[in-house]
Each structure stands twice: as structure tokens, then as C-alpha cells.
Structure 1
Amino acid sequence: MPAALSDYRAALGTPGAAAPVCASVLGRFPIAMHSLATLLYVREVHGSYAVAGAVSAALLIGTAVGTVVQGRVLDRLGPTRPMLVLVAVYLLCVTGLVLSIEYRAALPLTVAVAVVTGLATPAFEGSSRALWSDLTPPGPRREAAYTYEAISLEIFFIMGPALAAVLVVATPWPGTALVVAATAEIVGTTWFALTAAVRRRSARIRAERADGSLPVEAGLLGVFRRPGLRTVALASLGFGLVAGTAEVGVIAATAFAGSPAAGGVLLSLWSVVSVLTGVLYGMRPWPRPLHLRLPVLLAGFAVLVTAMGLVSPLGSLVLLAVVMMVAGALITPQVTAHSLGVEQTAPAGSATEAFNWMVMAAVLGVSVGQALSGVMIDLVGPGGYATGGALGLLVAGLLWLRRGSVADTEPRVVAAGSRA
């Protein structure tokens, strides 16, 4: 049964949800600020994009790895105590990063500190999504909660980098954006970890671990050994790849058209369209079976981003905007589908780790997509980012071939009397 507007109100109004929701707004706001704030800070101090890119990439790599490791720890010990420890470690690490940048430490040292800082950055996204399994029952209300998570992340991914750029330019010290992001991370994570709902979840997990009823996924890959979860992660990787190429491509296309400032405007509108259509799509999702929804949505998104790339050399911002807004309508539905896929393919006891695998896959996809887009634009012009859309179609094809691994898990979550 699809989610209605009343389900969104019910999910956000669930007793105990208000505090963690507010804390997550503060704690997740810096999710897209960290890397850009670090890149701009290093560029201002060292005067080199190459050095800045190396430090920013090191931070992203550390964050991607740390996200999965932390997820496993949080699933075994509960979120409260580990998150408070992480906050303390992160405070020390980010202080060291600021000092190494400010005093122009040797590049290998700064890169090493950036990696450690990324490892220690609290893995907020997985914990926030996993908490909804405690707060809401399976069905439309929980699907509405996951849609809210996708919408909020989309907003933060747009607003975060914009704020970082403004703070670097508008304040007398280029490290302001990084300090603001770190402060929000520290305060938001501490608040979230100490909320009643999160402490109850932690107590439950500790009790289950003590009596041996907590399921544990063994091995280096942990819950990622499950075929269905790997398929969902592939969908998240493909989404990040296509979205990353589009973000860079739009900036290049608007510059080619003679209106570089329009790039930020179009990306902001893209986010608005994604949010609005995400709510509407949640009321009537299509395709209904999740194993079909994953490849179909990614394929549609990839085709539209490819079309964006093909029209970019024409220099028409109106045509680009029209195609781009249609593509934006498929962003939030995909992120919501990834959350539903995690719930469907991973055991409840490994929800945080599983969600964090999705975050890591998306981050890696965006990183590869942005790099690929830059290379192809340099080689063939503003339409070069269509390559990312073409690769997204290949990933969608792989998802179609692997759809059975998700379909096999569907009967236990669909409504009684129906079968995908």
C-alpha cells in the first residue's frame, strides 16, 4: 500500500520521533559540506587545486570506509555509547586537520590526518534511517519515513555545499566553513545519541547481545555478503555515478551557454523538483515490486541525464532545464527505494551497517561520476557528461540481471494476499 500525506504526518509525529528528527537535521546538514569546505580551505591556504583535491579525496575515502565500519559497531553495541566516543575522537581529529592545513604541514601528513578524520566522522545517516524501524510499523508509514529521509538528504546535499562556498568567500578566515560543519556534526550527533528513542534502541541491542538473540553477520564483508543487499548497493552506486556526472555537467553546460551562475540555480531547482515529486511518487509508486523498481528508475534517470548531455552543446538553457527537471523527478524515488531495499534484504540486527553500505556506494559513485564527467568534458566539450548516463544504463542492465536476488526477499514484506 503506497504512502499518503497522512502517513508522513503520522511518521514525523510518532511519539519519540521529534527529538531525533531535529537532531538529525543539525547533524546531517554538514554531510555535503565537509569535503567541499576542506577543498576550498586547502586551496586558499596552499593556492593549489591539486593539493586541495588530494586532501579532500583522502577525507572522502576515510569517510566511506569509516561509514561501514561504524555501522557494524553501532549494530552490535547500540548507537549511544559508540557515537559519543566517536564525537570525542572526531573533535580531536578535525582539530588536527585544521591545524595541519593552517600551518601548511607536509602533504603526506595532512592527507593522513584527513583519512583519519574521515574514519572518525560519525556515520549519522545509517543510524537515523535504522531508527525508523523502531519508531514506525512496516508499511506505508515507514515508507513515508524513508521518503522523508531521502528528501532531507537531498536538501542537505544542495544547501551544504552552497553554505560552504558562501562561508569561505564571505568570512575573513577560509577555515570557517570547515569549523561550522564540524560543530554542527558534533552538536547534532551528541544530541541524537542522547535522545530517549536512541537510548532505548541502544538498551534493546545490548540486551539482545547479552542473551544471545542478536543476529551477527560474520566475516569481513558482514551483511554485505547477502546477494540482495549487494544488488541494492549496486543501484545506489549507479545512482551516485549518474548524479555525480550530471552535477559537474550542468555547471559546464551553463558556463558554455554564457551563464555560469545559472548552474547553481538549476541544481537548486533540481532539488526542489526532486522533493516535490518524491512525495507524490510515494503515494503511487511504480513499478510496485521493488526488484523491478530499482532497474527501471535507474534506467529512466540514466536516459534523461544522457539526454541532458546531448542537448548541452546546443547552448539552450531552457531546453536543458526542461530535460533536467524531468530527470530530477526520479532522484528521491530512487533514494527511497534504496532504503526500502535495505529493509527488505538485510536483517533488522544489521540495519545500520546495511544502510551505511548504501551511503558508501553512493559516495563512491558520486566521486567516480564527478571525476569521469570532468575528464570527458575536457575531451569532448560540455556534452561529455552524457557518458555518465550511458554507464548508468549499463548498471541498470546489471540490476535487471540481478533482480532475482531482491525478488527472493519480497514475500516477507509485501502485504498479505499479494505477491510481487
Structure 2
Amino acid sequence: MSQSARLADYRTALTTPAARGPVIAAAVARFPIAMVGLSLLLYVQRTTGSFAVAGAVSAAGLVGLAVGSVVQGRLMDRLGPSRPIIVAAALFGLVVAATVVAVEARAAEPVLLALAFAEGLTEPMVGSASRAMWSRVLPPGPARHAAYAYEAISMEVFFVLGPAASGLLLTAPWPGTGVVVGAAGMAAGSLVFALTGTVRSWRGSTERDRAAAQGEHRGGGRGLLGALAGAGIRTVALAALGMGAVIGFIEVAVPAAATRAGQPAAGGLLLSLWSVTSVLAGVLYGRRPWPRPLHLRLPALLAAFAALVLLLAAPTTLTGLAVAMLLAGTMIAPQTTTHSAALEQVAPAGTMAEAFGWVITAIMLGLAAGQSLAGQIVERFGPPWALLAAAACGLLVAGAVWLARHTVAAGAGSAGAGRSRSAPGFRRGSRLASRS
């Protein structure tokens, strides 16, 4: 998975007949991913008048999302994505409706926390299914690498547009408009994605597939940990946890810096800036990824991200902070692209959706931990110290990933056999593409 991706490879991936419908539907479903949580936070804050309650509700949603991503991923691997996504979308709609009613009724905080957790738990994991789909509709090579890069780049676009949409909808007469619009878009897109021919043809792994996977990766796909029992997946998840933690620190420290500078509204804009450079860097990085070996790429990119975050602690003006955010953003999409590529190398056959779910869980837990610690540091010492802590955290985790790099390198030796055992799913996608 050290191939580079040209623009022609992106075109090949996105115009593959079997992928066209799912790509469009997944874009609709995933666009609100950065919008629903922020809209809920702003809605609760406007209604209750408390940032403390709103922050707690947001954290509960992240924890629910961390749990739901793994549970749904495991179900998708066993049953195929269609049924789990359809059920999750229906439950998600009901939970969002109940949450709106509870907020309007000024329900007690424990009730809001429970509903927020349930909302995260039932949020349809279209992203996991979308990433795992590419190994079924594209053969190994530059086009598949470009597809994984597209997944990372598109998420950055959604993280630019989603918060902007939340801010715009907050100006509507009713502060819950963003929650309802975002949730409706996510549920509708998820249902369409689940009902496309490509996704419906994905039947999930058989007992034979899972037995073969366990034979290739000792402990892979077994027990409570499932795919996370594989050492290589744990290493990728650790890298994702480190990235999430660094981002979590920044998501608190940067708005706090803007507030202390007397321009609280600039906090959201500053956070959107690094997604812009992340998109551009993702496209360029897909063409010439470095370091070439994946087991070196994971720690190197996380360490580079942490080093660039050090620049955020230096500026004394918001303009300087904006420039530093643009620089730091160049390391986000390359990391998420590398996570996808590394998972394909280390995940046992028939566990890709769950493996992606563990990565999402790691990121969400990192975000929650980073935000929690950053809040305390900001209150006691100020935003620059929280940013220094973010860099230190990233460098420490990068060191741990480097020490475990052999677990990812070891996955390369069995990748060919593992992917060949996944071939039935790929062949089904190929036949569907040819019929289309």
C-alpha cells in the first residue's frame, strides 16, 4: 500500500459503476457528521444557558459514537451493511426526536446525557461501510489508494462545511433547526446508501472467512475485542487515538484563545481553516506518500503533526494563530488516509468494517480525553499551555507507535493471502460493476 495516486486514479475510483450510487449517498449521509454534534451543543447551550451542560451532552454523544462504531462495524462484517445501517438510521431518527422533545421540556441533565449517548450509539456508521466497500469494488492498486484518500479528503470538506452550516442554521428562529436538518440528511443518505445494489450485494463474512482470518492473525476477530485482538490493528488504533487527542486539545484551546482575545466568534473560523489545508495536502500526499513503508508512515505523520502543533502555542495574535492552523492542517488528511491503508494491510479477512469502527472509536476517545484535559489546563494556565500539552501528547503517542511499528510491518507479509480470502466480496462487486 505504498502506491501513489494520480488525479486519473481518483477519477477511476469515483466513476466505477458499482461505486457511483454509494459514493453519492454516502456523501449525503456523512456531510452532517460534523454538523449534528455541534448543532446539538449549540442548541442545548441556547436552551439551557449553560456551556457546562452543553459540553457534557457533547461528550456523552462522543462516547456513544465510540461504542456504536464498533458494535455497528462488527454487525456489518457479520451481516453485511444494509440491515445494520437501516436499523441504525431508524433508531437514530427516533432518538433525535426524543432528544429535541427533552431539550424543549427542559429535562434533567441525566436524561439529556442518556439521550446524547443513545444518539451517538445509533448514528449510522456509513463511513466505516464506505471505506470497507472499496476493497470489494476495486482491485489492489493506485485506484484503491486514491479511493481511501478520497474518503479522508471528503471528511475534511465536511468538517469545513458542516460547522459553517451549523452556524448559519443557528440564526434560524428555532435553535434546534440545525439538529433536525442534519439528522434528517444523515438518516436519508444512510438509507439510500444501504439500499444501493452494491451495498445490498455485500453479504458479510461467513464462518469459514472468520476461521481463516483467525488462522492468519492469531486472536484476530475473536472474543470481545474482535478485530482489535490483532496487534497491527491495535497499533493503527493507537495512532488514531493520538491524532484524536491532539485535535481534542486544539478544539478547546483555539476557541478559548479567540475568546480571550475578545473575538469569540473567530474560534469556529479558526478551526475550519486547518481543514482547508488538510484537503489540499490530502490530494498532494496521495500522489507521493512518504515515508513509503506504512509501518514508518504512521509514527512519522503523527510526530510531524505534533511538531506543527507547537507552532500554535507561539502566536500572540489571532492572525498568527490562523497561519499556524493552516500549517498544522497539512498533517490531518495524510494521517487518516494512512490509517485506511494500514488497516487494509493488517485487518483479518472479513473484519474491515469493524476494524474501521475501532479506528473511529479511538479517534472519538482521543477527542473526548483531549477536550477534557484541555478544558482543565485552559482554566488553570491558559490556552498556550493546552497547546503545548497537545504537542507533548502527540509526540509521546508517536513514540509508542514507533515502538510497535513491527506489528504493522508483519501484516504486509500476510496481506496478499488475507485479501485473496476476501476475494468473493470483491468478485461480487466486480460482477455488479460489469452488469452496470
What is aligned with 1:251? 255
What is aligned with 2:282? 278
Residues 31 and 160, structure 1, Cα contact 8 Å, conserved in 2: yes
CA distance in 2 between counterparts of 1:52 and 1:265 reads 20
Q: Letter of the aligned partner of 1:253 in structure 2?
A: A
Residues 256 and 382, structure 1, Cα contact 8 Å, conserved in 2: no
Query: 1:255 offset after TM fit, Å?
Result: 4.1
What is aligned with 2:160? 158
Query: 1:36 offset after TM fit, Å?
Result: 1.7
CA distance in 2 between counterparts of 1:348 and 1:3 reads 25
CA 1:8–1:368 in 2, change beyond 3 Å: closer, same or farther? same
Using structure 1 for the length normalisation, give the TM-score.
0.91
Q: Deviations over 1:294-316 (max 9, x none)?
A: 1011001101102211x13xx23
CA 1:251–1:42 in 2, change beyond 3 Å: closer, same or farther? closer
Q: Secondary structure of 1:221's match? A: coil
What is aligned with 2:430? none
Structure 2 counterpart of 1:106, from 97, 104, 108:
108
Q: Check if 1:74 corresponds to 2:108.
A: no
Q: Deviations over 1:210-245 (max 9, x none)?
A: x74455722000010001100000000101111222
Q: Secondary structure of 1:96's match? A: helix
Query: 1:196 offset after TM fit, Å?
Result: 1.1
What is aligned with 1:95? 97
Unaligned runs of 5+ in 2: 214-220, 417-436
CA distance in 2 between counterparts of 1:51 and 1:255 reads 19
What is aligned with 2:302? 298
CA distance in 2 between counterparts of 1:261 and 1:60 reads 24
CA distance in 2 between counterparts of 1:322 and 1:172 reads 35
CA distance in 2 between counterparts of 1:251 and 1:41 reads 18
Q: Deviations over 1:57-97 (max 9, x none)?
A: 22221111011011101110011122112222222222111
1:52-67 aligned within 5 A: 52-67=54-69
CA distance in 2 between counterparts of 1:231 and 1:257 reads 39
What is aligned with 1:37? 39
What is aligned with 2:200? 199
CA distance in 1 between counterparts of 2:49 and 2:36 reads 19
CA distance in 2 between counterparts of 1:185 and 1:329 reads 28
Residues 249 and 383, structure 1, Cα contact 8 Å, conserved in 2: yes
Residues 306 and 387, structure 1, Cα contact 8 Å, conserved in 2: no
What is aligned with 2:121? 119
CA 1:382–1:281 in 2, change beyond 3 Å: closer, same or farther? same
CA distance in 2 between counterparts of 1:34 and 1:193 reads 20
1:402-413 aligned within 5 A: 402-413=404-415
CA 1:47–1:84 in 2, change beyond 3 Å: closer, same or farther? same
Q: Letter of the aligned partner of 2:39 in structure 1?
A: A
Using structure 2 for the length normalisation, give the TM-score.
0.88
Q: Secondary structure of 1:17's match? A: helix
Question: How many residues of Structure 1 are paired with residues of Structure 2 in the alignment?
Answer: 405
Query: 1:166 offset after TM fit, Å?
Result: 2.2
CA 1:39–1:10 in 2, change beyond 3 Å: closer, same or farther? same
Runs of 4 or more off by more than 6 Å in structure 1? Answer: none
Greater shift after overlay, 279-288 or 253-262? 253-262
Residues 258 and 264, structure 2, Cα contact 8 Å, conserved in 1: yes
Q: Deviations over 1:252-303 (max 9, x none)?
A: 3344455544444433332111111111111111100011001011001101
Residues 160 and 276, structure 2, Cα contact 8 Å, conserved in 1: no
Q: Check if 1:308 corresponds to 2:309.
A: no
Q: Secondary structure of 1:122's match? A: coil
Q: Secondary structure of 1:409's match? A: helix
CA distance in 1 between counterparts of 2:185 and 2:111 reads 26
Q: Letter of the aligned partner of 1:332 in structure 2?
A: A
Residues 292 and 403, structure 1, Cα contact 8 Å, conserved in 2: yes
CA distance in 2 between counterparts of 1:34 and 1:255 reads 23
CA distance in 1 between counterparts of 2:67 and 2:158 reads 21
Greater shift after overlay, 113-122 or 218-227? 113-122
Identity %: 53
Q: Letter of the aligned partner of 1:304 in structure 2?
A: L
What is aligned with 2:378? 377
CA distance in 2 between counterparts of 1:78 and 1:412 reads 24
The CA RMSD measured in Å over matched residues stands at 1.9
Greater shift after overlay, 237-246 or 224-233? 237-246
Q: Secondary structure of 1:137's match? A: coil
CA distance in 1 between counterparts of 2:250 and 2:222 reads 38
What is aligned with 2:217? none
Structure 1 counterpart of 2:223, from 208, 219, 228:
219
Q: Letter of the aligned partner of 1:349 in structure 2?
A: G
What is aligned with 1:367? 368
Query: 1:399 offset after TM fit, Å?
Result: 0.6
Residues 64 and 364, structure 1, Cα contact 8 Å, conserved in 2: yes
Q: Check if 1:173 corresponds to 2:177.
A: no
CA distance in 2 between counterparts of 1:238 and 1:29 reads 24
CA distance in 1 between counterparts of 2:142 and 2:154 reads 18
CA distance in 2 between counterparts of 1:308 and 1:55 reads 28
CA 1:317–1:39 in 2, change beyond 3 Å: closer, same or farther? closer
Residues 84 and 190, structure 1, Cα contact 8 Å, conserved in 2: yes
Query: 1:372 offset after TM fit, Å?
Result: 2.2
Q: Check if 1:353 corresponds to 2:354.
A: yes
Residues 372 and 388, structure 1, Cα contact 8 Å, conserved in 2: no
What is aligned with 2:339? 338
CA distance in 2 between counterparts of 1:109 and 1:262 reads 32
Q: Secondary structure of 1:363's match? A: helix
